[in-house]
């Protein structure tokens, strides 16, 4: 666990293995360096390296004993008027990753809230949060895993302000980082280990520690309730389906609280079922429970953040396998709310379990806001690329709030329309709806399918996180693997409702 220590000044006289500074495109020197001598030397080095301050560019300089810190890393922030929290988050995440790469024990970030047009707490939240995000590694199964590869301490240079003013926000950064790490660990876990009941055991243990209520709805009860989607998808697997219901209620009961319900797709492995996926790349389908992992992470953070909003989390856990007992294309399932679904593809399984989860949430929890997170469609990645979540919903105000929260958290989300005429694509001749349409607009028809299972009047937003939940390749700005995408956005959103 990296210690976060705010200190006065710009870190010019701080001993460390790595100190981070920033520069906008077009500037001659990193303006976060106040010390004149250091600034002159660093700008010479930057010039020699042809550094221009472009976004996602960086120069690492070894100070060779001439300065208090052994290395300085200058990150480009790109054009000043294109700056956003996401740019800063990314720069600091890259720095966090570099810090692990060079085994830096003590690192520092010189904060410049004024230059970023952010409040001091916001600047600290994004910068420290980004650094910790980038320093994450999943090395549980590596025989060569290095004890203590994580930085021990991160200093935050706060300029002239009183460092104690950042204590609260830095505590929050740690809380959020801890739960995001848990989500990333769960997504990274191999699917032979993390089956639905394993997830339930972990959720129950973690919920107990965090003082969040946890109830398991097992197969027998799913049958009594009529959750045909959950049971149908799980039929080909030797692991039974389980619905994990988490509940956080704030301590004070002074006034009417908002009630938020989060629903997460928890397919621990998606082979496609009888509509089997191609073998190439199938291993990435261990990440098909990223939505559920994010919902668990969010619920676990709420008590520590003392959020004054009631939140329920529904984790819909199943495994999608081909088998003699598995559902087939042509089968008809009945969802919790009584609607029937013709199976066109057993690989469109996420929407079947979400249909049960969403309709059960509407009926029993009466949410003021209902939000689902799901690695739902490859089509969403085709539409928006790998780094962006598709946002759809039946309530423009809630959609807007989610998009605003995403921008503040530095996570990329973009709205897609729910064109009513595309409903035709999922019309069935034998059931109320079918579970897949034509290839074109696949993210949208998936959203329209889900809408069939949300009671009118319940504000609902669907987040298709198929792209950003898990990176099969690394990008300049994102390491390979699980990201915990959605956790920071939704924690921000929920806090803004309180
Ligand atoms: N889990 C997949 C979607 C997915 C694909 C997530 C790639 C992350 C990366 C989902 O269950 C699925 O298979 N969707 C199908 C839907 C189709 C059959 C209508 C898809 O996108 O191909
Ligand atoms: Mn699938
Ligand atoms: Zn899936």
**Closest residue by Cα to residue 489 from 423, 398, 379, 427:** 398
Atom of ligand 1 nearest to the CA of 435: 19
Using 50, 70 and 90 to split pLDDT, how confident is the model at 477? low
pLDDT in tens, 288-321: 999 999 999 999 999 999 999 999 999 999 999 9
Phi, psi of 67 (to 5 degrees): -135, 160
Best mutation site among 377, 428, 435, 450 for ligand 1 pocket (most ligand atoms within 8 Å of CB): 377
Per-residue pLDDT, 145: 77
Mean pLDDT of 177-191: 98
Checking if the pLDDT of 215 tops 90, the result is: yes
Per-residue pLDDT, 70: 96
Per-residue pLDDT, 318: 99
**Closest residue by Cα to residue 372 from 447, 423, 433, 317:** 447
Do the domains 176-496 and 3-161 match in fold? no
Identified catalytic residue from 351, 401, 451, 488: 351
Using 50, 70 and 90 to split pLDDT, how confident is the model at 132? very high
Per-residue pLDDT, 420: 97
Ligand 1 pocket, residue 318 CB under 6 Å = no
Write out the CATH class of domain 3-161: alpha beta
Ligand 1 pocket, residue 350 CB under 6 Å = yes
Using 50, 70 and 90 to split pLDDT, how confident is the model at 476? low
pLDDT in tens, 324-382: 999 999 999 999 999 999 999 999 999 999 999 999 999 999 999 999 999 999 999 99
Per-residue pLDDT, 267: 99
Out of 27-36, 40-49, 166-175, pick the least confident.
27-36
DSSP sequence for 147-187: TT-S-SEEEEE-BTS-GGGGHHHHHHHHHHHHHHHHHHHHH
* Residues forming beta bridges with residue 215, ordered by sequence position: 245
Atom of ligand 1 nearest to the CA of 470: 8
Nearest CA to ligand 1 atom 8: 466
Atom of ligand 1 nearest to the CA of 285: 1
Cα–Cα distance, 309 to 317 (Å, whole number)? 25
Scan for tokens 């009529």, then name that residue. 226
Cα–Cα distance, 351 to 364 (Å, whole number)? 20
Whose atoms come closest to the Cα of 266: which ligand? 3
Is 277 labeled as catalytic in the residue annotation?
yes
Cα(378) to centroid(ligand 2), Å: 9
Cα(375) to centroid(ligand 3), Å: 6
CATH topology of domain 176-496: Aminopeptidase (3.40.630)
The H-assigned helical ranges of 2-110 are: 36-48, 85-101
Angle among Cα 109, 301, 392 to the nearest 5 degrees reads 95
For 459, the token pair is 């504000």
Is 412 labeled as catalytic in the residue annotation?
no
Identified catalytic residue from 174, 204, 259, 277: 277
Residue 420 neighbours by CB distance under 10 Å = 9
pLDDT in tens, 403-437: 999 999 999 999 999 999 999 999 999 999 999 99
The H-assigned helical ranges of 158-273 are: 167-188, 196-210, 219-225, 228-234
**Closest residue by Cα to residue 232 from 94, 431, 45, 381:** 431
* Residues forming beta bridges with residue 261, ordered by sequence position: 312, 370
Cα(162) to centroid(ligand 2), Å: 52
Per domain, the residue ranges of the chain are 3-161, 176-496
Ligand 1 pocket, residue 379 CB under 6 Å = yes
What mean pLDDT is reported for the chain?
96
Checking if the pLDDT of 147 tops 80, the result is: no
Cα(348) to centroid(ligand 3), Å: 7
Ligand 1 pocket, residue 349 CB under 6 Å = yes
Per-residue pLDDT, 202: 99
Checking if the pLDDT of 230 tops 60, the result is: yes
Best mutation site among 265, 352, 372, 376 for ligand 1 pocket (most ligand atoms within 8 Å of CB): 376
For 467, the token pair is 């792209």
Ligand 1 pocket, residue 94 CB under 6 Å = no
Ligand 1 pocket, residue 386 CB under 6 Å = no
Phi-psi region of 53 (alpha: psi -120 to 50; beta: other; left: phi over 0): left
Note the pTM of the prediction, 2 decimals.
Answer: 0.97
Answer whether 304's CB lies under 8 Å from 220's CB: no
Checking if the pLDDT of 146 tops 90, the result is: no
């Amino acid at each position: 666990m990296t210690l976060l220590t705010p200190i006065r000044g710009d870190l010019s006289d701080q001993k460390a293995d790595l100190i981070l500074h920033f520069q906008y495109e077009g500037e001659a020197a990193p303006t976060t360096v106040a010390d004149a001598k250091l600034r002159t030397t660093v700008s010479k080095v930057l010039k020699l390296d042809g550094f221009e301050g472009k976004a996602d560019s960086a120069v690492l300089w070894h100070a060779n004993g001439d300065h208090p810190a052994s290395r300085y890393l200058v990150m480009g922030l790109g054009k000043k008027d294109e700056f956003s929290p996401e740019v800063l988050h990314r720069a600091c995440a890259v720095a966090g990753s570099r810090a692990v790469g060079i085994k830096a024990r003590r690192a520092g970030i010189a904060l410049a809230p004024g230059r970023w047009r952010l409040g001091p707490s916001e600047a600290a939240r994004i910068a420290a949060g980004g650094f910790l995000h980038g320093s994450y590694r999943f090395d549980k199964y590596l025989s060569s895993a290095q004890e203590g590869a994580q930085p021990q301490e991160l200093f935050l240079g706060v300029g002239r302000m009183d460092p104690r003013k950042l204590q609260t926000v830095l505590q929050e950064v740690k809380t959020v980082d801890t739960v995001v790490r848990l989500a990333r660990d769960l997504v990274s876990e191999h699917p032979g280990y993390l089956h639905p009941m394993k997830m339930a055991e972990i959720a129950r243990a973690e919920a107990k520690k965090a003082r969040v209520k946890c109830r398991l709805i097992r197969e027998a009860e799913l049958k009594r309730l009529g959750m045909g989607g959950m049971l149908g998808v799980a039929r080909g697997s030797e692991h039974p389906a389980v619905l994990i219901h988490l509940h956080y209620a704030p301590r004070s009961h002074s006034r009417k609280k908002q009630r938020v319900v989060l629903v997460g797709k928890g397919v621990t492995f998606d082979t496609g079922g009888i509509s089997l996926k191609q073998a190439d790349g199938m291993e990435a389908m261990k990440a098909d429970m990223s939505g559920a992992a994010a919902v668990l992470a969010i619920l676990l953070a709420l008590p520590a953040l003392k959020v004054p909003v009631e939140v329920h989390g529904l984790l819909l856990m199943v495994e999608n396998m081909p088998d003699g007992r598995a559902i087939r294309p042509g089968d008809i399932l009945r969802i919790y709310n009584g609607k029937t679904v013709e199976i066109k593809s057993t690989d469109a399984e996420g929407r079947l379990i979400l249909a049960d989860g969403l309709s059960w949430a509407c009926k029993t929890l009466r949410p003021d806001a209902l939000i689902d997170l799901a690695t739902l469609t490859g089509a969403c990645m085709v539409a928006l690329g790998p780094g962006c979540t598709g946002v759809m919903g039946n309530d423009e105000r809630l959609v807007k709030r989610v998009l605003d929260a995403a921008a503040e958290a530095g996570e990329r989300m973009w709205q897609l329309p729910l064109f009513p005429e595309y409903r035709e694509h999922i019309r069935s001749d034998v059931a109320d709806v079918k579970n897949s349409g034509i290839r074109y607009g696949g993210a949208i028809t998936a959203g329209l399918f889900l809408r069939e299972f949300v009671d009118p009047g319940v504000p609902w937003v669907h987040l298709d996180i198929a792209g950003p939940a898990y990176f099969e390749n690394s990008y300049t700005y994102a390491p390979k693997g699980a990201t915990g995408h959605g956790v920071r956005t939704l924690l921000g959103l929920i806090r803004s409702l309180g």
